[in-house]
Structure 1
Amino acid sequence: MSAYPPDRRDFTRTAPVRLWEDGFASDPYRYYAALRSQGVVGWAELAPGVPAYVVTDRRAALEVLHDAETFSHDPRPWEATVPSDSPVLGMMRWRPNALFADGAEHLRYRTTLIDVFDLVEPYDLRGRVHRAVRLLAGRIGPRGEADLVADFARPLIALVLNDLFGLPDSQGDRLNEGLGKMMEGGAQAAEGEAQYAQYVLELIAAKAGRRGDDLPSHLLDHPAGLTREEVTWQVFLTLGAGYEPTANLLSNTLSRILGNPAYYSTLTSGARPVMDAVVEVLHHETPLANYGVYYVRRPVSFHGVWLREAVPVVVSYGALGRFAEQDAAAGPHPSDASHLSWGAGAHACPVKQHTLLLVTEAIEQLTQWLPDLDPVVPRERLAWRPGPFHRSLSALPVRFSPRSPATASTAASAASSTSQGVRT
Structure 2
Amino acid sequence: MNPSPYPAPAETFSLSAPVRLWEDGFAADPHAYYATLKAQGPIGWAELAPGIPAYVVTDRRAALEVLHDPETWSHDPRPWEATVAEDSPILGMMRWRPNTLFSDGDAHIRYRRTLVDAFDLVEPHDLRERVHHAVDVLVNRFGPAGSADLVADFARPLMSLIFNNLFGLPDSESGRLEAALGKMMEGGADSAQGEAEYGSYVMGLVGAKSAQRGEDLTSWLLDHPLELTPEEVVWQVFLTLGAGHEPSANLVSNALSRILGNPAYYSTLTSGSRPVMEAVVEVLRYETPLANYGILYARESLSFHGVWVQAAVPVVVSYGALALFSEQEFAGAHHPRDASHLSWSAGEHACPVKQQALLIATESIERLTQWLPDLTATTPREDLSWRPGPFHRSLKALPVRFTPRIPDQPGDRA
TM interval, shorter chain, is over 0.9
In 1, the alpha carbon distance for the partners of 2:87 and 2:131 equals 38
Match of 1:75 in 2: 77
Rate the CA distance shift 1:346–1:280 in 2: closer, same or farther, 3 A.
same
- Unaligned regions of 5+ residues in structure 1, if any? 1-9, 330-335, 413-424
> 1:315 corresponds to which letter in structure 2?
V
1:362-399: CA deviations, max 9, x gaps? 00010000111110100000000000000000000000
Q: Distance in 2 between matches of 1:403 and 1:278?
A: 25
Q: Distance in 2 between matches of 1:29 and 1:120?
A: 38
* TM-score, scaled to structure 1: 0.92
Cα separation, partners in 2 of 1:174 and 1:406, compared to 1, 3 Å: closer
Matches within 5 A, 1:207-356: 207-326=209-328, 338-356=340-358
CA distance in 2 between partners of 1:325 and 1:380 (Å): 18
1:327–1:142 Cα change, 3 Å: closer
Aligned counterpart, 2:373: 371
More displaced 10-residue stretch of structure 1: 345-354 or 12-21: 12-21
* Cα deviations by residue, 1:124-153 (Å, 9 ceiling, x for unpaired): 000001111111111111100000001011
How far, CA to CA, are the matches of 1:258 and 1:325 in structure 2?
Answer: 20
Partner of 1:160: 162
**2:67 aligns with one of 49, 65, 68:** 65
SS in 2 for 1:11: coil
Deviation at 1:197, TM superposition (A): 0.2
CA contact (8 A) 1:370 1:408 kept: no
Distance 2:352 2:339 in 1: 22
Q: Deviations over 1:99-133 (max 9, x none)?
A: 00001110000000000000000000000011111
Aligned position for 2:112: 110
CA deviations on 1:309-335 (whole Å, 9 max, x unpaired) are 110000000000111255579xxxxxx
CA distance in 2, matches of 1:409, 1:25: 44
CA contact (8 A) 1:295 1:310 kept: yes
Q: Name the CA shift for 1:326/1:248 in 2 (closer, same or farther; >3 Å).
A: closer
CA contact (8 A) 2:150 2:399 kept: yes
Structure 1 residues 409 and 255: alpha-carbon distance in aligned structure 2, compared to 1, 3 A threshold: farther
Matched residues in 2 for 1:388 and 1:408: separation?
Answer: 47
- Give 1 or 2: higher helix fraction: 1
| 2:370 alignment partner, SS class | helix
Identity %: 72
Say which of 132, 137, 140 aligns to 1:138: 140
Q: TM-score, normalised by structure 2?
A: 0.94
- By how many angstroms is 1:283 displaced? 1.2
Counterpart CA distance in 1 for 2:124 and 2:181 is 26
Q: Show the counterpart of 1:11.
A: 13
Q: Which whole-Å CA distance do the structure 2 matches of 1:19 and 1:118 have between them?
A: 37
Q: How far does residue 291 in structure 1 lie from its aligned partner after superposition?
A: 0.2
Computed over aligned residues only, the root mean square deviation of the Cα atoms, in angstroms, reads 1.4
Report deviation, 1:214.
Answer: 0.6
- Contact map agreement 2:326 2:341 (CA 8 A) in 1: yes
Please tell me the residue identity of whatever aligns with 2:318: S
Match of 2:22 in 1: 20
Q: Which runs of 5+ in 2 are unaligned?
A: 1-11, 332-337
8 Å CA contact 2:160–2:178 kept in 1: the answer is yes
Aligned with residue 51 of structure 1, among 31, 50, 53: 53
Task: State the one-letter code of the partner of 1:178.
Answer: A
| Match among 397, 400, 403 for residue 402 of structure 2 | 400
The 8 Å contact of residues 375 and 402 in structure 2, kept in 1 or not, is answered as yes
How far apart are the structure 1 equivalents of 2:366 and 2:51?
Answer: 44
Matches within 5 A, 1:179-218: 179-218=181-220
